[in-house]
C-alpha cells in the first residue's frame, strides 16, 4: 500500500537555529499535503498545507517545500523557539476532491529545541 514516512524520527536543534523536518511519500498521484504539530499529550494542530501544483508555501516562521520529482516534502521552521518542541507529522491525500477520510498520516518526527 501507499505509505507516508519520515527520514528521521528525532531531531534536536539549538534555540534560534532553523530546523528542517523531512517527509517522503510514495504515491506519485498525491495532490495535497499537510503538516501537523503535536505537543505532548495533546491533539495535533494544523501548521501549513500545500497543493501539488506548488513547490513552496510560506507561513509564519514556517515554509513547506514540495519536490514532486523525488516525492519529498519538508517543513522548515525558522528561528526555533522552545515552544516548537513537539512531534511533527505530514499527511497526504491523493486528491483535493475528496474529504479528509482520504488522508494518510506519517509517523512523525520529534523535534527538541535545546535552550
Partner 1 sequence: DGGITQSPKYLFRKEGQNVTLSCEQNLNHDAMYWYRQDPGQGLRLIYYSQIVNDFQKGDIAEGYSVSREKKESFPLTVTSAQKNPTAFYLCASSIDREMGTGELFFGEGSRLTVL
Q: Does the protein bind partner 1 through residue 97 (CB under 8 A)?
A: yes
> Taking the complex as a whole, how short is the minimal distance between the CB of residue 107 and partner 1, in angstroms?
5
> Taking the complex as a whole, how short is the minimal distance between the CB of residue 14 and partner 1, in angstroms?
27
Interface residue with partner 1 among 44, 77, 109, 110 (CB under 8 A) is 44
Residue 114, classed as helix, strand or coil, is strand
- Rg over alpha carbons for the chain, rounded to the nearest Å, is 14
Spatial contact of 55 and 67, defined as CB atoms under 8 Å apart: yes
CA distance 106 to 72: 12
CA distance 30 to 8: 21
Rank residues 10 and 18 by Cβ distance to partner 1 and give the closer one.
Answer: 10
**Contacting positions for partner 1 (CB under 8 A):** 4, 32, 34, 36, 41-46, 49, 89, 91, 93, 95-108
Amino acid at each position: 500500500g501507499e505509505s507516508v514516512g519520515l527520514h528521521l524520527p528525532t531531531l534536536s536543534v539549538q534555540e534560534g537555529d532553523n530546523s528542517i523536518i523531512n517527509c517522503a511519500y510514495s504515491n506519485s498521484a498525491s495532490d495535497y499535503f499537510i503538516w501537523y504539530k503535536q505537543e505532548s499529550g495533546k491533539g495535533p494542530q494544523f501548521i501549513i498545507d500545500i497543493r501539488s501544483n506548488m513547490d513552496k508555501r510560506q507561513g509564519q516562521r514556517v515554509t513547506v517545500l514540495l519536490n514532486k520529482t523525488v516525492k519529498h516534502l519538508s517543513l522548515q521552521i525558522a528561528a526555533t523557539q522552545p515552544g516548537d518542541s513537539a512531534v511533527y507529522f505530514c499527511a497526504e491525500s491523493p486528491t483535493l476532491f475528496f474529504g479528509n477520510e482520504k488522508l494518510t498520516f506519517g509517523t512523525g518526527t520529534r523535534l527538541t529545541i535545546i535552550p
